[in-house]
Amino acid sequence: MAEKFSLKDDLFNADTVGRLGQHFEDAGVFKAAPFVADVMADMPSLELKARINLIADVLARYLPGDFDAAADAIQSALPPPLDPTLRDDDFGHFIYAPLGVYVENHGLHGHLDRSFDLLEEITQRFSMEFSIRAFLNHHQAATLERMQDWITHDHYHVRRLVSEGTRPRLPWGQNVGLTPADTLPLLDSLYADPTRFVTRSVANHLNDITKFDPDAVIARLSAWQKTGKQAGKELDWMRRHALRGLIKAGHSGAMMHLGYRPDIAVDVSQFSITPNTVVRGETAEISVTLTTRQDAPMIVDYIVDFVKSNGKTAPKVFKMKVLEAKADKSVTLRKIHRFKDDATTFTLHPGAHHLHLQVNGRIVADAPFHLT
């Protein structure tokens, strides 16, 4: 049997820690071998985040005690920046994340400007989106002021740090007390960025905001459409990506913004799941035949009301098809759905379930089925 993949072991191991240590040895700061030995003595039993913290703690023992001197040492040991000519998917390596944690631990109080300078440099090797959030929580005004400078930085990783570091619901990131009034003005300058790495971050940031203020996001996207500052094709992609959560939820305002009429006249002549009794772990075919009365774009999703352990149900939305429907021309859609019985985040329970068909955010048909 193949050994299960371990992200923590892939990102933080003797080789990657050795790479970090070698940077400092090459810069004449300290020898790599004892640093690696000290880290690896305690690393194997730790989870991913704890490994980052451990490396930062050991690093503090090897760097000068004076923060400015330590910052000079880190600066001298940094590898070359990530390629500034690329447009996307150049994430760098997690082994540089502990450098940001070191800055959090030792520069947060009393060394603000130097910490910002250092994070600006480190993020060009690996994103400091997690570490910058500690500064937002302790020095919000000063951090937002520095971000105004970063918005126009030559390196797109620094520009992305502004949008990604201020996201309201950054996965794995500590909460920050920012509101849309704080962050949307930053995005007003970043949505027209020429790199997808930045515009994806802007769209993800907007998707976070849709979870508590969808109207603000739709209004901002509408305003950006009128400026012509971003290429139409790229802004269309950003709009879809930013509103993806609302689209799955059938939000009428998001549907209308993207050109999908929630009140579209549609006839459903057949909607079924085969077999009607599904065994957990096996597949079923979901099919539907639709006819519209006018030409119209359609987003067709299906929703499964899954039975929970307490007998109640919880809906889960799945994509079926995005299409341009033609008036009075029937279209048949089919989708094979596997009812996974081994998912780590979702447990299937037997019982009576319901399937719903959603067209442009509106439920237009239902079909019962049984899961065993």
What is 221-285 written as a DSSP string?
HHHHHHH--S-HHHHHHHHHHHTHHHHHTT-HHHHHHTT--TT--EEEEEEEEESSEE-TTSEEE
Segment 17-65, tens digit of pLDDT? 999 999 999 999 999 999 999 999 999 999 999 999 999 999 999 999 9
CATH code of 266-371, in short, is 2.60.40.10
Buried b / exposed e over 344-370, threshold 16 CB at 10 Å, is: eeeebeeeebebbbbbbbeebbebebe
Residue 87's pLDDT band (cuts 50, 70, 90): confident
**Predicted pLDDT of residue 344:** 72
Q: Determine if residue 281 is left, alpha or beta; phi over 0 gives left, psi from -120 to 50 gives alpha, anything else beta.
A: left
**Predicted pLDDT of residue 3:** 62
**Cα separation, 232 vs 64, whole angstroms:** 51
Does 226 have pLDDT greater than 50? yes
**Predicted pLDDT of residue 89:** 76
Burial of 79 (0-12, 13-18, 19+ CB in 10 A): middle
Residue 5's pLDDT band (cuts 50, 70, 90): confident
Helices first, then strands: H and E counts in the chain? 16, 8
Of 6, 91, 87, 1, whose CA–CA distance to 45 is shortest?
6
Count of Cβ atoms closer than 10 Å to residue 33 Cβ: 12
Sheet holding 283-292, edge to edge: 266-274, 283-292, 331-338
Map out the domains of the chain as residue ranges.
63-256, 266-371
**Cα separation, 143 vs 31, whole angstroms:** 34
Any idea what DSSP says for residue 92?
B
Any idea what DSSP says for residue 40?
H
Segment 147-196, tens digit of pLDDT? 999 999 999 999 999 999 999 999 999 999 999 999 999 999 999 999 99
Residue 90's pLDDT band (cuts 50, 70, 90): confident
Q: Which helix (H) or strand (E) holds 358?
A: strand 351-359
**Percent of residues, the chain, with pLDDT higher than 70:** 99
**Cα separation, 314 vs 304, whole angstroms:** 8
Q: 344 by DSSP, 3-state: which?
A: coil
**Cα separation, 19 vs 32, whole angstroms:** 9
**Predicted pLDDT of residue 59:** 98
Q: 325 by DSSP, 3-state: which?
A: strand
**Predicted pLDDT of residue 118:** 98
**Cα separation, 51 vs 43, whole angstroms:** 6
* Number of residues assigned to the chain: 372
The chain-wide mean pLDDT, for the chain, equals 95
Of 241, 239, 89, whose CA–CA distance to 157 is shortest?
89
Continuous H helices in 108-213: 112-122, 132-138, 140-150, 156-165, 180-190, 196-210
When pLDDT is averaged across residues 238-242 and rounded to a whole number, the result is 98
266-371 and 63-256 share a CATH fold: no
Segment 104-132, tens digit of pLDDT? 999 999 999 999 999 999 999 999 999 99
**Distance of alpha carbon 108 from its chain centroid, rounded?**
26
Segment 315-355, tens digit of pLDDT? 999 999 999 999 999 999 999 999 998 777 788 999 999 99
Residue whose tokens read 């390596």: 93
**Predicted pLDDT of residue 1:** 40
Does 287 have pLDDT greater than 90? yes
When pLDDT is averaged across residues 64-85 and rounded to a whole number, the result is 96
Burial of 321 (0-12, 13-18, 19+ CB in 10 A): middle
**Cα separation, 308 vs 148, whole angstroms:** 47
The whole-model pTM stands at: 0.90
3-state DSSP helix/strand/coil percent for the chain, to nearest 5? Answer: 45, 20, 35
CATH class of 63-256: mainly alpha
